Each structure stands twice: as structure tokens, then as C-alpha cells.
Amino acid sequence: MKYTQKDIEKSNRIITRRGIVLGGAMMGFMGILGLRMRQMQVEEAEDYRLLAEENRINMRLLPPARGVIFDRNGIPVADNSQNYRIIIVKEDAGDVDDVVARLKSLIPLDEDDLERAMREINRRSPFVPVTLADRLTWDEFSTVAVNAPALPGITPDVGLSRHYPMLEDFAHVIGYVGPVSDYDLSKIADPDPLLQIPRFQIGKVGVETKLEEDLRGKAGTRRIEVNAAGRVMRELGRIEGTPGTDIQLTIDAALQNFAQVRMADESAAAVVMDVHNGDLIAMGSAPAFDPNMFVRGISGPDYRKLTENEYRPLANKTVQGTYPPGSTFKMITALAALEAGVIGPDDTVYCPGHTTLGGRRFHCWKRGGHGYVDLDKSLVQSCDVYYYDIAARCGIDKIAEVAKRFGLGTRHDIPMSAVAEGLIPSTQWKQVVRGEVWRPGDTLNASIGQGYVLASPLQLAVMTARIASGKAVSPRLVKSVSGTADPVPTMAELGTNENHLRWIRRAMFRVSNSERGTARRSRIVTEGMEIAGKTGTSQVRNITAEERARGVTRNADLPWNRRDHALFVAFAPFDKPKYAISVVVEHGGGGSAAAAPVARDIMLQALYGGLPPLEAYPAGQREAIGELHDTWPLRDMPKPGPARSRA
């Protein structure tokens, strides 16, 4: 097709217009781009410079020093010690196996720790530092430092590590710290960024976990320069964190040590409590363990030794253990009957050695019976039939109400793990929990602290303190926080008739001091320091009619785990009560033989503030007690004072 001159001119005009439009659009776009570049380079230059700087400068968290825990006298029982350790960076080391072999030729390395470190090295990025060994001696640390040029990738480092100078003594009270686990993080809704630091340690049990937020402190920061791969090139500056809060407990370290030593060969628990302000002076659970083993990560064999021990050293028996209180519960049954008006102090019940209910016999511990028994004699000689009778008349619900008023069946608010509530049964409880009707026989069992009744040593100490003081004393474990005394709450009156309490206290005095008292051998003879107590023995097995007919098997002839629990509760001095104590010896047999002597010795230690004179003991026991004093491996107490370390 042939174009005319007119067509060509028309086409040129169209092309020219399109070129102008396209050129204009391009010029406009270039203009906008230029303006944006000017804005970024001139007006927003500072903002982008900061962004670039942040891409090169990183902020890292610095773990704070953990708060120190002291006993009531200022003796540190959980502090921080300098930790000399060796760190390796894989990419700087090159041949890790070769470097580790050279290091092993210089200092001894624990094979379990080394294996754990090698797994961590293979799991992490090559530029992330990993701890090869810690808790080195100064000689080992300096040896590595001197030879550092021949150990590529190896860096000697100094940090802080949790340390428990009292070893086993405070294991169950304070607990221990350990590395943050995924399980720990799952329990926290908004975790502190500190918890994301590799191998950062937090409280796992005891005071360490219950007061974790106070003890942890606030993180510091450091500014570091990193390269494109994220490796640290140098430190540009740092701001130290805020150390954790120091905590002072009410526990007396010397008395705590004595309680642990005194119970060393038993599976037992002891609680000593100030009857006026509720201060927990000692809370011993035996056997115990060294919490320092958990700080680094306990080995499998060591952990199995603890978990496979039938004496259960990991369990804090003072608050977690619940036991049938046996005859130590009889004071509660007596107070309930007195309040209900079904007995007076001089009213008697005849004990032929048993009582019959619905064709079933409920036996007294004394096969031949006690004859006519009043309130005083019933406690002094621990007659069971007396309590069967008065309990049947006042009913379980009245007994339960009094028991809870005296601190049983209550989860007391102290910063310790797994504090047990215990169990004080009632008609409603059995219907709701078991779907069964309460039976009269249940009341008889409960009246002597058997059946469904369960109490912890802490609860028994609270019960005894309330009997001694007549006030609603509550247990208290924290004495001060960061040097500021924790206020002692006002102790309300119990609302119990003082005459009733006076009769109970007098009977408890005779339990320990009269000729026929079940705890006479464990009395204190120093004038003005006399102890008032109550023994208890709780069955852990059923005794059949056939066994009773042929004679009940002695505890000594039974396997350890089928023997009765031994219990004793007491307060002293009788005239001016200062301390209450409860002792439970698991499968110890009789309370008078196994628990009362332990409680008497611990009480004397508390009253005298150290080993008492032999004159405090009955004359016939002094020689034997003196020999024991020489064999008890009591700890030399460090001097009170600040123990915070800032390495």
C-alpha cells in the first residue's frame, strides 16, 4: 500500500504527540525519583544513618547478680560465687576435637560435662560461645589463660554462679536454681527477655522459685559491634543490671543444722515455730541432698540415687508430707468435746481396752484397758477409748470445725513448693468427694487421728503454737526483704475458752513430766524450761482380728515401710511458751521412743541457743547424751554479713 504525503504528515504528528507524552511522563517520573532521593539523602539522612548503625550495633542483655538469701541472723545461705569457666567458639577453634584434646592435657575435664558441651556445640551456630568447663580452680583457670595462644577458640571467662554454702541444711527450704527449660517458659504468659539467654538459671523449687521475680533482678545491657554474619567484633559499652533483691528468712542456720544432724539416720521431719509471731525457726527434712549438684545439672547416676532412695530425700516432708496425726490429734477432739459441752475436765469414761460399735470392735492401744479415765489421764496415758466415746457424742463436724481453727486442713501461705493442705474430713466432704454417707465408725477413727485425717508437720506445729498461745498464729518464713522488715501481722484471738486451753496445756505438761506420762523419758529437767508435749503413733497397715488374737506384731519385727509412724508435738517453756515443735519419724514405731527424744533435743538447742548443759537432761541419761554431743558433726557457722559478689 502506498502512503500519500498527507498520510505521512499525519502519522508524524501522532508519533510526535506520543513522544512528547511519553517523554513528559518519563521526565515526571525522574523528577519524582530525584525528589525522593533528595528527601532520603538530605532530609531523612539521619534516620537512615541510625538504621544502618543499628544494623551494625547490637544490644545484648547482661544477667544481673541474683539476690542473696540470709538466715535470721544474717548468715548467707544462698549466695553468688565467682565461677571460673572455659568457653569455646567453634568457628574460631577450627578443629574442635584437636583443641579439646590440647585443653585436656592442661586441666582435667569432666567427661559428662564435656559430652554435654559437645552436643551443644553441634546444635548451635558456629559463632555462638559454649561453656566447656566451669567451676575451675584458680590454678586451672590461670593455666588455660597462659596457654590461650595455643588454644584457638578458647576463652577463659569469669561469671557468677549460685552457691549454697550450707549444703544439705537448707536444701528443702531454699530449693535450688537450674537452667530455664521449655516447660518453665510454657508456664509464663509474658516471659522476661532474660529467660531467653542461653543457660540462664531460675529457681526450680522452694524459696528460689516462689520468690523468683524478686531474686532475679533486672537485666543490664551491652552494646556490641557485629559483622554481617552476626559474630561479635568488639564491645562498645555496657550498663550493668540491677541486682536481685536480698531476702532474709526467719530460719536460724545453727538450729537448722542441728535438726538435720539430729535426724540424720531417719526419714523424718521437724518444724520449730515461735508461738508469738509465727516465725519458722527451723524446718528440717531428712534425709536431704546437696542443692549445688543441681546448679550445674545433676548427673544421671546421682539423680537416680536420690529418686531410688526409699527415704525420699528429694521430698520436703515438712510441708509436702501428710500423715495420720495419731494421738497428737486428741487435743483437738478434746477441745471439740469441751466446746460442745459433752464433757467436763473431771468427767470419766470407762476403758476396758476396746469399745463396740455396730458389732465392730475399736481397740485401745492398751489391751487390758485404762479403767476410769478423765481428760487429764486420757492425754497423759493416751487412752483411745475415751476419745471414741466423746467423739461419738460431739460428732465429726464439730471436730472438723475446731481442727481447722487450729490450723489443720489449711494450706498455709509460705513461699515454699507444694505446701500440702492436709485433710480434715467432715460429713459433707465424704458425700461430695467420695459420694458416700459418713458413718459413725469414721468418727471414731478420726477421733484418734486415724482414718481420713491427714496433717503435715508444719500444720502440727501451727496447731501446737495455737494451743500454747491461744492466738491464731500463722507461719512466717520471710523476715525482711532488701533490709526492710516484713511486717508481723496481728495475731487474732482464737475464740476458744481459755479454761479449756489451760486444761489441755496442763495435761500436755503431765505427758512429759508425770510418772506415767508417755513422754517422761524425753522431759527437760531445767527449772523454768519444762516441756509440754503429746506423743502419737499412727498406723500405716490394717491389723486383722487374727493378728490381735495371737498378739500384734512388734514394729521391730516388721519391714521398715510397714512400721507405724512416730510423732511428737510440744511447746516450751511450759510457764512462758516460746517455741512449738512437731516431729514426724516415718515408720519410726512409737512416738515416745522415736520422735519425742528428737523433739526434746531440738527444743533444748533452740532454748539455749546452742548445745545445752547436760544438767538439762534427766540424770540417768546424761552420760549417754554427753557421748552423743561429742559425735554430732555440727557445722561451724560463718560470721553474719553481706555476701553479694559482683565479679
For residues 471 and 406, give the distance between their C-alpha atoms in angstroms, rounded to a whole number: 9
Nearest Cα to 599, choosing from 272, 327, 319, 250?
272
DSSP assignment string, 449-506: T-TT-BB-HHHHHHHHHHHHHSB----B-EEEETTEEPPPPP--B----HHHHHHHHH
Active site residues: 327
Cis peptide before 287 (omega within 30 of 0): yes
Cβ atoms of 601 and 626 closer than 8 Å:
no
**C-alpha cell, 332:** 483437738
Cβ atoms of 346 and 377 closer than 8 Å:
no
For residues 508 and 323, give the distance between their C-alpha atoms in angstroms, rounded to a whole number: 21
For residues 155 and 103, give the distance between their C-alpha atoms in angstroms, rounded to a whole number: 11
Nearest 5 degrees, angle CA 554-CA 374-CA 275? 80
Cβ atoms of 80 and 163 closer than 8 Å:
yes
For residues 284 and 286, give the distance between their C-alpha atoms in angstroms, rounded to a whole number: 7
Cβ atoms of 586 and 268 closer than 8 Å:
yes
For residues 392 and 369, give the distance between their C-alpha atoms in angstroms, rounded to a whole number: 19
For residues 417 and 211, give the distance between their C-alpha atoms in angstroms, rounded to a whole number: 11
Nearest Cα to 273, choosing from 603, 21, 530?
603
| Helix, strand, or coil (residue 578) | coil
H-helix segments, 110-160:
111-123, 138-146
For residues 582 and 563, give the distance between their C-alpha atoms in angstroms, rounded to a whole number: 20
Cβ atoms of 116 and 131 closer than 8 Å:
no
Give CA 221 to chain center in angstroms: 32
Could you give the maximum distance between any two Cα atoms of the chain, in Å? Answer: 146
Cβ within 8 Å of residue 630, ≥6 positions away: none
For residues 249 and 416, give the distance between their C-alpha atoms in angstroms, rounded to a whole number: 12
What are the angstrom distances between the C-alpha of 493 and each of 465, 466, 532, 575? 13, 9, 21, 19
Reduced 3-state DSSP string for 234-295: EEEEEECCECCCCEEECCCHHHHHHHHHHCCCCCEEEEEEECCCCEEEEEEEECCCCCHHHH
For residues 491 and 488, give the distance between their C-alpha atoms in angstroms, rounded to a whole number: 9
**C-alpha cell, 431:** 458425700
* CA pseudo-torsion sign 319, 441, 535, 585: negative
H-helix segments, 39-154:
45-56, 90-93, 96-106, 111-123, 138-146
